Amino acid sequence: MSRIGKKPIVLPEGVSATVTDRVIQVKGPKGTLEYNFGYEVDVKVDGTVVTVEKVGRTKLATSLWGTTRALIQNMVTGVKDGFSKKLELYGVGYKMALQGRKITMSLGFSHPVEVKIPEGIEVKIEKESMEISGIDRQKVGQFAADIRALKPVEPYKGKGFRYSDEQVVKKEGKKAAGAE
């Protein structure tokens, strides 16, 4: 039994949900999100309470029961409060700037790196920190991971992108031969 799947989702003030043709739509003050759930689960909306029930006793139905409930909870949180990730850029000469719906970065390569900002994502840049925010948790997390993958943290000097709450353990460099 899924402990997550059993919990009902209580819709906060200002958030509404509707289910039509295996698609749940959640509306809130920040926007609207939709999720197309499969035939293994059934989603019911009763006033301000959303419940997810599994259909059948298959392994897939059990797996998707808790997952669907968690995704719907993330949708509710997203349209109410939104999600954000904060990245920090460390390194001498590394820069980033916002130009319309593009981020231009100087990351130590022979050319500047340009990344388009996807729809539904907002980016704020202040010196060496970047805040990525939006209502869709998956899009925000994926865009932050894509940016971080451009220049991941280097283990010897700690240069590159890192999450603001990430702890980086630096490796010890090579020792000089014969310096005993």
Full-model pTM: 0.91
Query: Which comes out higher in pLDDT, residue 124 or 2?
Result: 124
* Distance, CA of 44 to CA of 162 (rounded, Å): 40
Label residue 178 by pLDDT band (50, 70, 90).
Answer: low
Asked whether the predicted pLDDT for residue 174 surpasses 90, the reply is: no
Domain ranges of the chain: 3-80, 83-163
- Sequence-distant (≥ 6) Cβ neighbours of residue 145 within 8 angstroms: none
Label residue 91 by pLDDT band (50, 70, 90).
Answer: very high
Label residue 81 by pLDDT band (50, 70, 90).
Answer: very high
Q: Count Cβ atoms within 10 A of the Cβ of residue 120 and give its class: 0-12 exposed, 13-18 middle, 19 or more buried.
A: middle
Q: Judge whether 3-80 and 83-163 match in fold.
A: yes
- Rounded to whole angstroms, what are the CA distances from 62 to 9, 72, 153, 160? 18, 16, 38, 40
Looking at domain 3-80, which CATH architecture does it have? Alpha-Beta Complex (3.90)
Q: Considering the chain, what is the average pLDDT of its residues? A: 94
Superfamily, domain 83-163: Ribosomal protein L6 (3.90.930.12)
* Distance, CA of 124 to CA of 145 (rounded, Å): 16
